[in-house]
Amino acid sequence: MTKEKMKKTKKIQNIGFYEGMRDGVPIALGYFAVAFSLGITARKAGLNALQGFISSVLNHASAGEYAEFTVIQAGAPYIEMALIILVTNARYLLMSCALSQRFNPKTGLIHRILVGFGITDEIFGASIARKGAVDPWYHYGAMLVAIPAWAMGTAIGVVAGNILPVSVVSALSVALYGMFLAIIIPPAKENKVVAGLIAVSFICSFLASHISLLAKISGSMRTILLTVVISAAGAILFPVKEAVNHES
């Protein structure tokens, strides 16, 4: 590769990186607010600020981290923690597959792994919305801003949980449930199948906690079983039809 071509490639990488940082700022602000509430949950599970920070660096997903902290609080074994985090974060496998189809064939394995590590719903949406092949440097720029904000939010939430009055901590804990409602209500309003599956999951979760056989199973394992069974049933009974392109 000539020096001129190397300079051109470097310039393109720099542009992508800075654009990723720019687009990562609003994502980071939203992440900080959500992670702060997660930090309150982490504090209840007995984690300190450093542990909460490291957890969020390695697991940057709200549902996955909430499941992780509740399993820790319940004192469940590591295998249950691994399974419930795998189930709650399974959607990122699909996102990774989608992004892999958009890479330039010459993109190296290291770039693919690093991009896969930094996939979140919002960063994925920003990357996939760009025209052309996926730019790893754009992804790195967004990650550099968003993921530290996520981790810092969790750490500060843990600290706040240690110094704020119990009544305030309790009130802040409710914010996390509000976030989950904000996640499920919009798709439920748009799709009757999704709304039905959500209702079924609520009912099954309630019944499972009262049926003697299932009630003996830990809460995290019940969540794993219900998630797999209900999602699989939904996929089988209500498959998503692919749009057929009739254009010549």
- The rounded distance, in Å, linking the Cα atoms of 35 and 195 is 26
- The rounded distance, in Å, linking the Cα atoms of 179 and 83 is 23
Question: Using one digit for the tens of pLDDT, what is the confidence trace for 92-127?
Answer: 887 888 888 888 888 889 999 999 898 888 888 888
Question: Using one digit for the tens of pLDDT, what is the confidence trace for 19-57?
Answer: 999 988 988 888 888 888 888 889 888 999 999 999 999
What is the reported pLDDT for 244?
Answer: 43
In the chain, what percentage of residues exceed pLDDT 90?
Answer: 15
Confidence grade of residue 16 (pLDDT, cut at 50, 70, 90): confident
Regarding pTM above 0.85, the answer is no
Which helix (H) or strand (E) segment holds residue 126: the answer is helix 121-129
- The rounded distance, in Å, linking the Cα atoms of 156 and 164 is 12
Dihedral of the CA atoms 198, 218, 179, 168 (nearest 10)?
140
3-state secondary structure of 101: coil
Its sign, for the CA torsion 159, 70, 180, 128, is positive
Question: Using one digit for the tens of pLDDT, what is the confidence trace for 165-181?
Answer: 766 666 665 665 665 67
172/156: higher pLDDT: 156
| Residue/partner pairs of 176-181 with CB below 8 Å, 24 or more apart | 176/34, 176/37, 176/38, 176/40, 176/41, 176/66, 179/34, 179/37, 179/62, 180/62, 180/63
Q: Residue 247, Cβ neighbours under 10 Å: how many? A: 3
- The rounded distance, in Å, linking the Cα atoms of 173 and 45 is 13
